[in-house]
Structure 1
Amino acid sequence: MNVIKNSVVTLNYRVTNPEGVEVDDGKEPLIYLHGGHDDLFPKLEEALDGKTIGDTVTVRLHADEAFGEYDPELVQIEPLDKLPEEIEIGMELEGEATDEDDDDEVIVYRVTEINGDEATLDGNHPLAGQALVFTCTVAAVRPATAEELANGTAESED
């Protein structure tokens, strides 16, 4: 079966930066619903369209085609007394967007620095601002179930 709209595709993959430094070793296969369901970056999905089991594609994504440009406005400095006591670098916290246009948006902030009685929180994706190179091999393709189509996403095989 070829990779076509509304098929569930399993990819073995590896992600590097343009210099070849590994960003994601792809230990777990990536399973997604093909065909514009926002399960995969559009440029990568386009490259996989029509492929079959065993086919490999390599796609370079600019930052704006992957996790977006780095937005310095998503970085906040907060007093430690307003944060959980067990705060540590690398911890993720949910917060609200500071932009008036996104009042209901929840953002995941990572603690990137603790300095004195303040912590720096970054709401950018860890790979924001980076170009990425995806190398993917199609490991499996199957028709999506009615439930997967209704949900707009592939079901986990767990």
Structure 2
Amino acid sequence: MKIDKHTVVTLHYKLQEKDADGDMVEQTFGSDPLVFLYGAGSMIPKFEAELSGKKAGDGFAFGIESAEAYGEYDPEAIAPIPKEAFVVDGELAEDILQVGRVIPMRDPDGNQLIGTILEIGDTEVQMNFNHPMAGVDLYFTGQIEEVRAATAEEIEHGHVHGPGGVSH
């Protein structure tokens, strides 16, 4: 079976920055494979496009420019946040306030954002709301382990069930 919409893909991959000689970001070889529902929107679109039509046993190697991955680095995504935003039950949540810590937040419209603490001042916390991989070109190599038809329930829920997926 070939990778196409509504197939469950199981694969191992190695992700490096920029190209095959770039710094290692992560890999699944030697651990659990990546399992996902193709076409459900959970993966980088260019990643899925590069895998289209492949079958179990096929290898792959391709790059994705940052603009088609996690976007370009945006200096305007660095923002000062008043320390009052980190008050929980009337007290400053000092255990959360650590440089380098990634924390979920909400903007004034209720949209969820993920931010990294860059600096802690007397009245403000400098936060970076860029994705950690923003501005980085990606290079993937790997092997397709299995391709199967998704069940009707997986398609309806938009994710894989069972091994490598969600159990509910």
For the aligned pair, the TM-score class normalised by the smaller chain equals 0.7 to 0.9
Partner of 1:110: 116
Partner of 2:35: 31
Using the alignment, how far apart are the partners of 1:29 and 1:120 within structure 2? 36
Using the alignment, how far apart are the partners of 1:134 and 1:33 within structure 2? 18
Q: Give the TM-score of the pair, scaled to structure 1.
A: 0.84
Amino acid at match of 1:61: I
Deviations 1:30-68 (A, max 9, x none): 11111x321222222122112111211111111111111
Query: Unaligned 5+ residue runs, structure 1?
Result: none
Q: Percent identity?
A: 34
RMSD, aligned α-carbons: 2.1
Partner of 2:102: 92
Structure 1 counterpart SS, 2:14: strand
Structure 2 counterpart SS, 1:148: helix
Deviation at 1:132, TM superposition (A): 0.5
Using the alignment, how far apart are the partners of 1:62 and 1:43 within structure 2? 9
Structure 2 counterpart SS, 1:73: helix
Deviation at 1:104, TM superposition (A): 3.3
Deviation at 1:136, TM superposition (A): 2.4
Using the alignment, how far apart are the partners of 2:7 and 2:131 within structure 1? 28
Amino acid at match of 1:132: L
Q: How does 1:1-158 map to 2 (within 5 A)?
A: 1-18=1-18, 19-26=21-28, 27-34=31-38, 36-83=39-86, 84-86=93-95, 87-97=97-107, 103-115=109-121, 118-155=124-161, 156=165
Using the alignment, how far apart are the partners of 1:153 and 1:15 within structure 2? 22
Structure 1 counterpart SS, 2:103: strand
Amino acid at match of 1:94: P
Whether the 8 Å contact between 2:116 and 2:128 is mirrored in structure 1 is yes
Aligned length: 153
Whether the 8 Å contact between 2:159 and 2:166 is mirrored in structure 1 is no
Deviations 1:120-141 (A, max 9, x none): 2111110011111011211111
Partner of 2:90: none
